[in-house]
């Protein structure tokens, strides 16, 4: 018989899938590292279980303890799966810009969810960063994960995601493109690929309202770059320790509208039902077209599943409210009448 001992043993070994229609005008091959095949439907499963194992080994997470983390939803899901299997209490602190689906899914797997305002500074006691730290300090036996600065985040991708991409491409990968949030994926995968071939180019996809691109190019943390944005899962108003700017060759920024529109295009044109950051990632690849040549193999990583965005990106009314879709003529006529 062939079976996994528990759901955590099914994490990893996700497929590479060729993008065909959306990238047809690019000179190179584009392959998607399709992370929704993980049991929690996102790339974050990898680092979640790695961070828990590391905390157990260091003795900071003990049997019957409580895991506390600030999350946009996906890391919380991965941590929740680990908490269920290993017998921990799970508390997720999430910002109010995240989709309702993410909050409901976290509750469905046993998480206690605290929702915090998005439009406050990271050091504000109401922010989800501050709230997560406070809860971890107040609750006996709690461990604050801190995915942004936890080195096990990057290590997970250096040990698993990077080697998988190298093996699946037969060492032919020339570019790696991925949205950047905590920095663990781009830093871990990028470091591994460059250790195998220093010529591999590593590109980060950023969003408007985030500090990454300007900081990488100038070394300046410009607070004027920070403002609220809609795209979930990428960009930051802080500089996480897991973002290794030295291994990143450059960033490209994608607008909220393009991220949303290309997320829907992936579903309609490629049959890929994915989350908001996937649209940003594939749009980023298209924006980088002048960097690619016919012999290149570009790998773009898709973080999570479309089921977490049904009420937003895949909802026509929501898309029109944001100005991401043209108004529906029938609806407009009805309003006027």
> How would residue 128 be classed by pLDDT, with cut points 50, 70 and 90?
confident
Average pLDDT, the chain: 94
Mean local confidence (pLDDT), 278-306: 98
Mean local confidence (pLDDT), 318-331: 80
> How would residue 337 be classed by pLDDT, with cut points 50, 70 and 90?
very low
Q: Which residue has the higher pLDDT, 314 or 336?
A: 314
User: What pLDDT sits at residue 332?
Assistant: 52
Q: What percent of the chain has pLDDT over 70?
A: 97
> Residue 8: pLDDT above 60?
yes
| pLDDT tens by residue, 19-34 | 999 999 999 999 999 9
User: What pLDDT sits at residue 328?
Assistant: 58
Mean local confidence (pLDDT), 145-153: 96
Mean local confidence (pLDDT), 135-147: 96
Distance CA 228, CA 278 (A): 19
Distance CA 315, CA 99 (A): 12
Vertex 281: Cα angle to 275 and 283 (nearest 5):
110
| pLDDT tens by residue, 269-280 | 999 999 999 999
User: What pLDDT sits at residue 334?
Assistant: 45
- Enumerate domains of the chain plus CATH numbers: 7-37+157-321 (3.40.50.1100), 44-144 (3.40.50.1100)
Straight-line distance from the first to the last Cα atom of the chain, in angstroms, rounded to the nearest whole number: 66
User: What pLDDT sits at residue 326?
Assistant: 79
> How would residue 98 be classed by pLDDT, with cut points 50, 70 and 90?
confident
> How would residue 50 be classed by pLDDT, with cut points 50, 70 and 90?
very high
Specify the range with the lowest mean pLDDT, choosing from 44-48, 201-205, 232-236: 232-236
Q: What percent of the chain has pLDDT over 90?
A: 88
> Residue 69: pLDDT above 60?
yes
Active site residues: 44
User: What pLDDT sits at residue 91?
Assistant: 96
Vertex 210: Cα angle to 182 and 216 (nearest 5):
75
Distance CA 153, CA 30 (A): 26
The phi, psi pair for 128, rounded to 5°, reads: -70, -25
User: What pLDDT sits at residue 242?
Assistant: 98
> Residue 329: pLDDT above 70?
no
pTM for this one? 0.93
For residue 15, what is the DSSP state?
Answer: P
> How would residue 199 be classed by pLDDT, with cut points 50, 70 and 90?
very high
> Residue 333: pLDDT above 60?
no
User: What pLDDT sits at residue 330?
Assistant: 52
Q: What is the 3-state secondary structure (H, E, C) of 246-309?
A: HHCCEEEEECHHHHHHHHHHHHHHHCCCECHHHHHHHHHHHHCHHHCCCCCEEEEEECEEHHHH
Distance CA 192, CA 169 (A): 14
Helix, coil or strand: residue 214: helix
**Cβ-proximal residues to 122 (8 Å cutoff; 6+ apart), any chain:** 129, 130, 237, 238
Mean local confidence (pLDDT), 211-240: 95
> Residue 169: pLDDT above 90?
yes
């Amino acid at each position: 018989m062939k079976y996994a001992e528990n759901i955590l043993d099914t994490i990893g070994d996700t497929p590479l899938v060729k993008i065909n229609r959306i990238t047809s005008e690019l000179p190179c091959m584009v392959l998607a590292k399709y992370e929704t095949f993980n049991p929690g439907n996102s790339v974050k499963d990898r680092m979640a279980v790695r961070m828990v194992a590391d905390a157990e080994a260091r003795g900071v997470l003990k049997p019957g303890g409580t895991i506390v983390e600030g999350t946009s939803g996906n890391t919380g899901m991965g941590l929740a799966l680990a908490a269920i299997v290993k017998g921990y209490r799970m508390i997720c602190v999430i910002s109010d810009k995240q989709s309702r689906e993410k909050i409901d899914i976290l509750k469905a797997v046993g998480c206690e969810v605290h929702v915090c305002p998005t439009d406050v500074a990271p050091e504000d006691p109401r922010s989800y960063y501050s709230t997560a730290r406070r809860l971890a300090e107040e609750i006996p036996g709690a461990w604050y994960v801190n995915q942004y600065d936890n080195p096990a985040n990057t290590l997970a991708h250096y040990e698993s995601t990077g080697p998988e991409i190298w093996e699946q491409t037969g060492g032919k990968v020339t570019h790696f493109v991925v949205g950047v949030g905590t920095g663990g994926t781009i830093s871990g995968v990028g470091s591994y690929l460059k250790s195998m071939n220093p010529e591999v180019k590593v590109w980060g996809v950023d969003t408007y309202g985030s500090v990454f691109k300007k900081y990488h190019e100038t070394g300046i943390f410009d607070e004027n770059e920070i403002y609220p944005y809609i795209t979930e899962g990428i960009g930051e108003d802080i500089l996480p320790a897991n973002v290794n700017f030295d291994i990143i060759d450059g960033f490209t920024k994608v607008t909220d509208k393009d991220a949303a529109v290309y997320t829907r295009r992936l579903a309609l044109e490629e049959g890929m039902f994915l989350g908001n950051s996937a649209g940003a990632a594939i749009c980023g690849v298209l924006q980088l077209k002048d960097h690619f040549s016919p012999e290149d193999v570009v790998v773009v990583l898709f973080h999570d599943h479309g089921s977490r965005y049904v009420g937003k990106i895949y909802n026509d009314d929501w898309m029109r409210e944001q100005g991401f879709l043209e108004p529906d003529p029938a609806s407009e006529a009805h309003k006027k009448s």
